[in-house]
Structure 1
Amino acid sequence: MSSSTFPPPWLKWANKIIIGLQRLGLPFGTMHLLTVPGRRTGAPRTTPVSPYTVDGQRYVVAGQVDGDWAKNVRAAGNAILARGRRREDVRLVELPVAERGRILREFPVKVPHGVTMFLKTGTVESPTPEGFEAAAQRCGVFRIERL
């Protein structure tokens, strides 16, 4: 499996639609909007994410460990997480690779609609908890903390 994965070309347009619906106050599935200052310009950058809870803590997964939104989060640390018209200021703390597998195992159970994207990009080989756990080096996993 390649260590570098790429999103499908239609993802940018799908994200724009989801962002538009959310900004109109219409939540879409489990999706939230994550807005982070860009690491170069400081301009706000927004992407849809699907947070989920494991052992009372919320997490969000970057399907590409070196994807733009993950790099921006690492640079900024703080972000805004929004769903519909509700917004909260949060800090995102990246988990070390050794701690990611346990959290990734829960992804296909708690966010089943997100599994296909991970398969299509080649991030995971299998839609099972074991397949997600094996992708710990290819995914960024961030714990969400309220500010």
Structure 2
Amino acid sequence: MSDPRPPRWLKPMNKVQMALQRLGIPTGPVQILTIPGRKSGQPRSTPMTPFELNGHLYTACGYPGADWARNARAAGAGTLSRGRKSRQVRIVELTAEQARPVWRAFPTAVPAGVGFYKRAGLVQQGTPEEFEALARRCAIFRLEPSPQDEPRNR
């Protein structure tokens, strides 16, 4: 079975999210992660919904093999922004075993995200067990404060 592909509307919606954020308009829990491209080195931005669990901040990959996740692996660091505030973060990918409890907590931590994974065909009911099974297919990253983590205005 092939991996699900993002819907056609996702890129245009991401552009809208990023434009609103650049204008200083926070859009719910969505934040923008900017990291250098693994090939070009040019900044690449993508909206995401980080969530807190046990005192740590995590973000989940919405699709297996997503370009932003490949860039995150290569870069290991980036800038997380919400509205006009941003901070530097280290990006640490969890192993599948480390990711299992984080995925299991996802439906409770980010209930609005469950529908996204259902529509993508990655889960059927949205149960913790289904999300836990994603640990081998979709990456989870921990976003850690970097040494220069002082929030700054753009």
Question: For this structure pair, what is the TM-score category when the shorter chain's length is used for normalisation?
Answer: over 0.9
- TM-score, structure 2 normalization: 0.90
2:123 is the alignment partner of 1:127: no
Q: Give, as a single letter, the amino acid of the residue that structure 2 aligns with 1:52.
A: F
Aligned to 1:13: 12
Letter in 2 for 1:60: T
Q: Higher mean Cα deviation, 120-129 or 96-105?
A: 120-129
Measure, in 2, the Cα distance between the counterparts of 1:74 and 1:133. 21
For 1:79, what is the secondary structure of its paired residue?
strand
- 2:75 corresponds in structure 1 to 76
Question: 1:61 matched to which residue of 2?
Answer: 60
The worse-fitting range, judged by mean Cα deviation, of 102-111 and 91-100 is 102-111
The higher radius of gyration belongs to 2
The two structures, once aligned, show a CA RMSD in angstroms of 1.1
1:22 lines up with 2:5 in the alignment? no
Provide the C-alpha distance between the structure 2 equivalents of 1:68 and 1:123, rounded to a whole number of angstroms: 18
Does structure 2 retain, via aligned residues, the 8 Å contact 1:94–1:142? yes
Q: Where does structure 1 lack aligned partners over 5 or more consecutive residues?
A: none
Residues in 2 aligned to 1:17 and 1:66: alpha-carbon distance in whole angstroms: 23
Cα offset for 1:64? Answer: 2.0
Q: How big is the shift at 1:124?
A: 2.1
1:139 lines up with 2:142 in the alignment: no
Q: By how many angstroms is 1:90 displaced?
A: 0.5
Unaligned runs of 5+ in 2: 147-154
Judge conservation of contact 1:126–1:132 (CA < 8 Å) in 2. Answer: no
How does 1:74-113 map onto structure 2 within 5 Å? Answer: 74-113=73-112
Q: Secondary structure at the match of 1:101?
A: helix
Cα distance in 2 between the residues matched to 1:80 and 1:69: 13
Deviates more, 1:12-21 or 1:125-134: 125-134
**Percent identity of the aligned residues?**
46
Any runs of at least 4 consecutive aligned residues in structure 1 with deviations exceeding 6 A, and if so which? none
For residue 40 of structure 2, what is the aligned residue in structure 1?
41
Q: Contact (CA 8 Å) 1:32, 1:82: kept in 2 or not?
A: yes
Verify the 8 A CA contact 1:51 1:59 in the aligned structure 2: yes
**Number of aligned pairs?**
146
How much has 1:3 moved relative to structure 2? 5.2
